[in-house]
């Protein structure tokens, strides 16, 4: 468990002379703490003897609200009942030590002591391996410093890193994903079956599945992506140095922790569309002649950091340039950005809207990062089926548009199935949880009487409302906030809910839904069907178990049973795969 909290900064002053800075060993794993760059790691404590199951939220509430402390980052390590907390300055750290030490939390007396800063992974590994013999290529990958390595070998290494299944035929990839998904559902069935006092109907159903296939529920054959090449509509490209020490825009050849920071051009990658490759090449040319250096992830010096490119099926494009501002004046930054704009125009590379994301330092929180529109409207538009969607810089939109249509059609078919099994007298409302910009709900709005969307991101909800207006959809309403907080209000907004059939669709992040959201869903009897869209069933296992658990004080309301699993491939050439699971509420025994 690794959770982080950021609060409004209270910058402390750390001055380091140029003489000291120049004397810092670049391979020193703690060298970053000796530079002029701010890091809260120098104000770090270890909080020990935490109560069992004490989580990030509970500790954050204790520190912020009860003890009135000012933590910068909180990292709870549950398996050893400890937490590591950093602060913005020595004063806040001392205050925390005084208040937390010997504080009794749920019968446990907390212990507090100073903690060492976190070691820089790359510097640490580099020092540890300095005397090590070179491993073979299979075990340690290719050392990109070797001057004899050909571009073909570098291209293969890049493909192995970014699209590791590129050597397999698409048919073989689908077979592997089908098999992997079945294995995951088999494990989930075992976990749910191990729960004590399962509802009889759930238990009988699972025993039947065990006998028939062994999986959690029946699983249909994976639905393939309509396109396997050039399907990515969003990519974040790193700005760094290639194997010849030239400025380059593209993807890293490996992981930072493996000491691989070299960046290579994405021209060899089949999943990146040509329009993106042209934009990357154009920006690479500019960076190579720019007087501003590329950002160095080890020393945290330099300026050009990343560009994010979003495209549409009609080749509209958005480019977000991320720059570490360092000590540049606003005037200098503006001049440089205008040069970028001019370069794209003279190169005849079309960009519909260009934005700038300024990052003050390498250790800043999201409140310190600003996005400014340089050209265009700051948004682009994409079509899904016969609807038009507005995409803002931070908006979530499935990375494979054509495969997203396959996914949403699958969800729509399950919603219609739920409606068909409901008495004709009932109206149907669709509850879209983690709705983002409204893509799922709005594409299904014509199938239901009411649509209610919920999402934590305010900008996403703004986009969802505008998308509804853009498509003349009048039966939709949206709420912003944590799902566990706003779901009760959203459900209450449905007048006559007790006589209404409520179908819920959830499309959460990779880690799944918060336990409190599952609790709200369980205690709402109007939700008879739940459609769960997961991009990582292994990480969402706990959600599936809790949906099937017997009724209790914590999980009030009859459980659900899994009816069907439908895998959908949105990510060709990688191991990742979406799955849509249909759950049906167990009717209470009268």
Annotated binding site for S-adenosyl-L-methionine: 398, 455, 507
Choice among 54, 217, 324, 535 that is catalytic: 535
Torsion angle (degrees, nearest 10) of CA 96, 101, 104, 106: 70
Alpha-carbon span 154 to 138, nearest angstrom: 14
Query: Are 76 and 3 in contact, with CB atoms under 8 Å apart?
Result: yes
Alpha-carbon span 205 to 582, nearest angstrom: 14
Query: Are 442 and 451 in contact, with CB atoms under 8 Å apart?
Result: yes
User: What stretches of 471-528 show up as alpha helix (H) in DSSP?
Assistant: 483-492, 515-522
C-alpha 530, offset from chain centre: 23
Q: Which residue in the block uniquely carries the two structure tokens 């900008």?
A: 459
Alpha-carbon span 186 to 179, nearest angstrom: 11
C-alpha 189, offset from chain centre: 26
In the numeric block, which tokens belong to residue 439?
A: 């893509």
Centre a 10 Å sphere on the Cβ of residue 154 and count the other Cβ atoms it contains. Answer: 19
Centre a 10 Å sphere on the Cβ of residue 573 and count the other Cβ atoms it contains. Answer: 22
Please say if 457 is a catalytic residue: no
Query: Are 323 and 358 in contact, with CB atoms under 8 Å apart?
Result: yes
How would you class 346 by CB atoms within 10 Å of its CB: exposed for 0-12, middle for 13-18, buried for 19 or more?
exposed
Longest dimension (CA), the chain: 81
Alpha-carbon span 550 to 358, nearest angstrom: 50
- Which residues lie below 8 Å from residue 291, measured CB to CB, with a gap of 6+? none
Q: How far is CA 157 from CA 136, 143, 284, 447, in A?
A: 14, 10, 20, 47
Q: Crossing angle for the helix pair 483-492 and 515-522, nearest 10 degrees?
A: 20
- Which residues lie below 8 Å from residue 90, measured CB to CB, with a gap of 6+? 12, 43
Q: What does residue 426 show for φ and ψ, rounded to 5 degrees?
A: -90, 140
Q: Are strands 476-480 and 82-87 parallel, antiparallel or unpaired?
A: unpaired
Q: What does residue 469 show for φ and ψ, rounded to 5 degrees?
A: -65, -40
Q: Which residue in the block uniquely carries the two structure tokens 């060899």?
A: 268
Alpha-carbon span 260 to 254, nearest angstrom: 5
Task: Count the helix, strand and coil residues of the chain and give each as a percent rounded to the nearest 5.
Answer: 35, 25, 40
> Which sequence positions are flagged as catalytic?
535
């Amino acid at each position: 468990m690794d959770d982080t909290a950021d609060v409004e900064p209270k910058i402390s002053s750390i001055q380091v002379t140029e003489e000291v800075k120049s004397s810092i060993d670049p391979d020193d794993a703690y060298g970053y703490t000796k530079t002029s760059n701010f890091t809260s790691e120098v104000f770090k404590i270890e909080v020990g003897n935490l109560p069992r199951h004490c989580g990030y939220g509970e500790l954050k509430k204790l520190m912020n609200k009860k003890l009135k402390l000012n933590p910068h980052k909180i990292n709870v390590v549950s398996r050893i009942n400890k937490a590591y907390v950093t602060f913005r300055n020595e004063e806040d750290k001392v205050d925390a030590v005084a208040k937390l030490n010997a504080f009794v939390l749920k019968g446990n007396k907390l212990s507090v002591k100073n903690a060492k800063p976190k070691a820089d992974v790359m510097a640490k590994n580099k020092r540890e391996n300095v005397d090590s013999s070179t491993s073979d290529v299979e075990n340690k990958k290719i050392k990109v410093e070797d001057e004899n390595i050909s571009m073909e070998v570098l291209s293969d290494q890049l493909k192995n890193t970014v699209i590791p299944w590129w050597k397999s035929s698409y048919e073989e990839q689908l077979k592997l994903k089908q098999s992997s998904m079945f294995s995951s559902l088999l494990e989930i069935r075992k976990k749910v079956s191990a729960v004590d006092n399962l509802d009889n109907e759930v238990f009988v159903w699972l025993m039947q599945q065990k006998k028939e296939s062994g999986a959690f529920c029946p699983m249909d054959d994976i639905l393939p992506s309509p396109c396997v090449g050039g399907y990515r509509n969003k990519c974040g490209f790193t700005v760094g140095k290639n194997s010849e020490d030239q400025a380059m825009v593209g993807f890293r050849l490996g992981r930072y922790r493996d000491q691989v920071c070299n960046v290579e051009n994405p021209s060899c990658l089949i999943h990146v569309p040509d329009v993106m490759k042209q934009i990357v090449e154009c920006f690479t040319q500019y960076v190579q002649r720019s007087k501003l250096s590329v950002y160095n992830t080890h020393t945290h010096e330099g300026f050009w950091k990343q560009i994010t490119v979003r495209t549409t099926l009609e080749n509209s494009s958005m480019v977000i340039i991320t720059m570490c501002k360092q000590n540049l004046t606003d005037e200098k930054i503006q001049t440089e950005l205008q040069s970028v704009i001019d370069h794209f125009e003279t190169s005849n590379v079309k960009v519909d809207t260009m934005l700038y994301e300024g990052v003050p330092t390498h250790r800043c929180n999201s409140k310190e990062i600003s996005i400014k529109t340089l050209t265009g409207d700051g948004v682009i538009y994409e079509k899904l089926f016969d609807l038009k969607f507005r995409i803002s810089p931070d908006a979530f939109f499935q990375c494979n548009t054509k495969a997203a249509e396959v996914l949403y059609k699958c969800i729509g078919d399950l919603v219609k199935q739920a409606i068909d099994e409901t008495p004709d007298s009932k109206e149907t409302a669709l509850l879209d949880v983690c709705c983002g910009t409204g893509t799922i709900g709005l594409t299904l709005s014509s199938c239901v009487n009411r649509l209610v969307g919920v999402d934590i991101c305010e900008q996403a909800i703004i986009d969802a409302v505008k998308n509804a207006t853009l498509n003349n959809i009048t039966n939709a309403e949206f709420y912003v906030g944590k799902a566990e907080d706003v779901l009760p209000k959203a459900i209450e907004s449905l007048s006559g809910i007790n006589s209404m059939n409520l179908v819920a669709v959830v499309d959460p992040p990779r880690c799944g839904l918060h336990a409190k959201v599952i609790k709200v869903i369980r205690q709402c009897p109007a939700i008879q069907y739940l459609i769960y869209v997961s991009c990582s069933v292994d990480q969402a296992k706990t959600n599936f178990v809790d949906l099937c658990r017997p009724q209790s004080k914590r999980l009030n309301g009859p459980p659900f049973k899994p009816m069907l699993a439908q895998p959908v491939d949105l990510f060709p050439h990688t191991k990742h795969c979406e799955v849509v699971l249909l759950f049906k509420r167990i009717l209470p025994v009268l």
